[in-house]
Structure 1
Amino acid sequence: MRASVFAVFDEVNVSDHAKPTSAEHAKGSVKEAIGKLIGDARVEAEGKAQKQGARTPKAPSRRD
């Protein structure tokens, strides 16, 4: 049953108005919370990693 829950999160469609990184971050947050809730350290770690991967590095400041 756990695998089917996470398959849904992997197939979430991103609207044109939302940034793909925001959707990935949200999916990671949900995965992390579910991992904590069910006591599964692996799922919790996957969620944390997914959140970290969704963060984009800041662009260097421009000097004109």
Structure 2
Amino acid sequence: MNHRGPDHVGVYDRGNLLLVHFRLSILDLDPRSNQPFTSASRKNVCVYNGEIYNYKKNSR
């Protein structure tokens, strides 16, 4: 990953909780996909390592 990217590094630090996510954007270049994901209230935080298969594409 060091020679290729990463395209985004996300960090969430709240005292005794530290979440770090390195992302290589191969298919999805949308910045809304950058992690960690946080809720509007910033009460909930999520990092996801994997790929979602068979998702429905937007029909527009």
> Shared topology, TM-score over 0.5?
no
- Structure number with the higher helix fraction is 1
- Give the TM-score normalised by the residue count of structure 2: 0.28
- Give the TM-score normalised by the residue count of structure 1: 0.27
The structure, 1 or 2, with the larger RCO (C-alpha pairs under 8 Å, 6+ apart) is 1
